[in-house]
Amino acid sequence: MTRSINILFIIFTAFLFLGTSKLEATHIVGGDMTYRCLGGGKYEFTLTFTRDCELGAGDAEFDNYAIVAIYDHNFNPVSLGTAGYMFMPYVHEETDTLNTDLTSFCNISGAEVCVHQTVFRDTITLLPRTGGYIFSYQRCCRNASLLNVKDPLQTGSTISIALTEEAFNACNSSPVFNQWPDIYVCTNRQLNVNQLATDIDGDQLVYKLNTPYSGATIAEPRPDRFSKFTLPYEPLEWAPGYQLDNLLGSAVPLQINPTNGFISGIPDHPGQFAVGIMVEEYRNGQLLSVVKRDFQLNVRSCGTPPVADFEAPTVLCGTDDFTVNFQNTSQDADQFFWRFNYPSIAPGETSSDVNPVYTYPNTPDFTGKEVFTVGLKATRTADQCYDEIFKDILVIADPLLVDFEFELISCEDASLQVVLKDVSESLNTVYTISGRKWTVKISDSDIRNSNDKDFYLTIPKQGVIEVTLEVTTVEGCVEEIQRPVDVNFVDIQFIANPFVICAGETINQLVANPNPVWTYIWSPAEGLIFENGDDRSNPKCLIDHDIIYSVTVTDGICSVEGTVSVVVKDWFTLEIEGPEYICDPEVTLTAGGTNDPEVEYEWSLNPDFNPILTTGKIVTLPFAGNEQEFFVRIKEGTGCRSEEH
């Protein structure tokens, strides 16, 4: 998210150089020095120096050339360059005035600050030297307005860097800070000052706060010979109440992230403060170089600006409707300007509504997956103070497809080992799967979960399980699929067991659940009829005697065995034996025709046997009236009769 209040930065080139005259300058803000190896012992040195061009004294001048003294590692002068010095010329195109206008839009108090940045650069050829070299530039003096420096008008600055023997031998180049820090910050607001550096050699960088060096004097503000340079280097003295671990004297002190160089803290009173930082360069654990920088922070009392904010989805995932209802949650603002495809202000891509509605994609070059930046400027009409916020919406035209496969791995007597495989990645080319969640319902009391891509589990032998797979993506999309899975494990079920048939009859289907994909091995094969080639899943049977068949069924993973009995009955004539005349209220009847004990008889007063009065070979039934007719039949599957009576 990017925010801005109306502090306008204007960068311009503000100096014209005539002949060899000196540059008008003011008091010191800070600076740093870096070097770059060009090969063959040749190095390029860059000095960046900043001054206050608003508050400084008029007689504090910068030179056309920065005089940089060259020492060995023990601060003994070295006869290199010009009599032991580098006369660095300024780089005109990199010399700017950073003048920040403080507008009254957001009630920011305090005078304006002007910071002039001068860049000097030169090259020098060096010879190998035990201990390496030290390059030093000194200038006096600092701003009297600094609150955290003792006697700032008596305190100068030393900008130096050591080219160590190890760095020289490795043709090392020092890190370079990417940008100059913010000139203004506000009281009681969290700082986030970017002081990240870049190392072209890719070495490890470590950031620390640092006490800057003093240097030079009022009597000799611009040392131009070794005798006038201040040695040894002395750290500047912090004013009472200030120290390195609390440079601003605030309740939340200034800190620097050792990894990324971001400076944080909350200044709680206005003023002008000196800050020192350094970046250490390590290669394979060995310190190669240290770049030190010091600068000023100008803390101001700032009014409360409006706050721009809104709610909107961060991603639209292949829906039928890409319409977004933006919810404006800005504070202390009454005028709004929306850009739905920032920075475009094309017709149809902006709005001044409080809570606009916009449909994506609404651009002719939409690619099917695109990030649209939404910008909202919220303005307080009374003083024209504004805040801006930017948020991204990722629009993806294709839907997120989710699917899985089921596979049987192995089986036991009462359980199965199975795996559920997420195949969603193969179905989606514009999404990157980042996670998943399985929910498998075996029963109401047995629900399993997993986040693995392949979900292995042991389940009881049953026909159906309920599977839900929810998939999430790096883009922020979520989709799920839910469906029952038929657990098609090998099994054998018979139409009847035993089969009771009459002599000469054919059983047209023995197996209730035939599967031609499985392998069936029958024993014995007598009486079995296979009509479909190699398919042994469901034979017919024609047999003239009782027999028991055994069968083994396998699907290549699991096997099951079963047996079925076939009972062959002889034909007989069904008869009824009983008195023709009776005087009692009951009559005893006997079904005859066979002595087979497995035959079952059913008795009724109606030829359709509805209802059945009783069962059995010999029965006693109530007798009512002068004449009554009784019916008997063989229960199906228990015997064979040739005719009925």
Band the pLDDT of 207: cuts 50, 70, 90.
Answer: very high
- Per-residue pLDDT of 24-71, as tens digits, reads 334 789 999 999 999 999 999 999 999 887 665 554 455 678 999 999
Tell me what pLDDT residue 107 has: 64
Residue that wins the pLDDT comparison between 628 and 191 = 191
Strand partners, 186: 300
> Which of 549, 551, 416, 412 has its CA nearest to residue 492?
551
Tell me what pLDDT residue 473 has: 96
Q: Spell out the long-range contacts of 480-486 with Cβ–Cβ below 8 A and sequence spacing 24 or more.
A: 480/402, 481/402, 481/403, 481/404, 485/406
Rounded-to-integer distance, Cα 580 and Cα 575, Å: 14
Tell me what pLDDT residue 30 has: 94
Rounded-to-integer distance, Cα 82 and Cα 86, Å: 6
Does the pLDDT of residue 256 top 60, yes or no?
yes
Q: Spell out the long-range contacts of 76-83 with Cβ–Cβ below 8 A and sequence spacing 24 or more.
A: 77/226, 78/129, 78/133, 80/124, 80/126, 81/124
Instruction: Kindly report the backbone phi and psi dihedral angles of residue 481, in degrees, each rounded to the nearest multiple of 5, phi listed first.
Output: -130, 140
Amino acid at 524: P
Amino acid at 317: C
Rounded-to-integer distance, Cα 238 and Cα 31, Å: 18
> Which of 241, 250, 238, 240 has its CA nearest to residue 276?
238
Contact 623, 587 (CB under 8 A): yes
Contact 366, 397 (CB under 8 A): yes
Angle at 467 between CA 466 and CA 468, to 5 degrees: 130
The residue extents of the domains of the chain are 7-300, 310-396, 404-486, 503-567, 571-641
Q: Which two tokens stand for residue 20?
A: 């060899």
Amino acid at 81: G
- Mean pLDDT over 268-274 rounds to 95
Domains 310-396 and 404-486 share a fold: yes
Does the pLDDT of residue 366 top 60, yes or no?
yes
Rounded-to-integer distance, Cα 239 and Cα 273, Å: 11
Contact 180, 201 (CB under 8 A): no
Lowest mean pLDDT, pick from 131-135, 175-179, 534-538: 534-538
> Which of 306, 315, 311 has its CA nearest to residue 383?
306
Tell me what pLDDT residue 236 has: 96
Q: Which CATH superfamily is domain 404-486 in?
A: Immunoglobulins (2.60.40.10)
Tell me what pLDDT residue 362 has: 66
- Per-residue pLDDT of 339-360, as tens digits, reads 999 999 999 999 999 999 999 9
Band the pLDDT of 493: cuts 50, 70, 90.
Answer: very high
The CATH number of 310-396, from 2.60.40.10, 3.30.450.40, 2.40.170.20, 3.90.920.10, is 2.60.40.10
Tell me what pLDDT residue 57 has: 55
Rounded-to-integer distance, Cα 372 and Cα 357, Å: 15
H/E run at residue 559? strand 559-569
Residue that wins the pLDDT comparison between 352 and 641 = 352
Tell me which fold the domain 571-641 belongs to.
Answer: Immunoglobulin-like (2.60.40)
Band the pLDDT of 414: cuts 50, 70, 90.
Answer: confident
What percentage of the chain carries pLDDT values higher than 70? Answer: 91
In sequence order, the 6+-apart residues with CB closer than 8 A to the CB of 297 are 181, 182, 185, 193, 248, 267, 272, 273, 275
Tell me what pLDDT residue 52 has: 82
What is the rounded average pLDDT for all residues in the chain? 88
Does the pLDDT of residue 95 top 70, yes or no?
no
Strand partners, 374: 391
DSSP summary character for residue 424: H
Looking only at the bridges linking them, the beta strands covering 404-411 and 415-422 are: antiparallel
- Mean pLDDT over 417-425 rounds to 96
The rounded radius of gyration (Å) of the Cα atoms in the chain is 48
Does the pLDDT of residue 644 top 50, yes or no?
no
Looking only at the bridges linking them, the beta strands covering 559-569 and 499-502 are: parallel
Report how far apart the first and last C-alpha atoms of the chain are (Å, whole number): 98
Tell me what pLDDT residue 561 has: 92
H/E run at residue 31? strand 28-39
Tell me what pLDDT residue 475 has: 93
Does the pLDDT of residue 536 top 90, yes or no?
yes
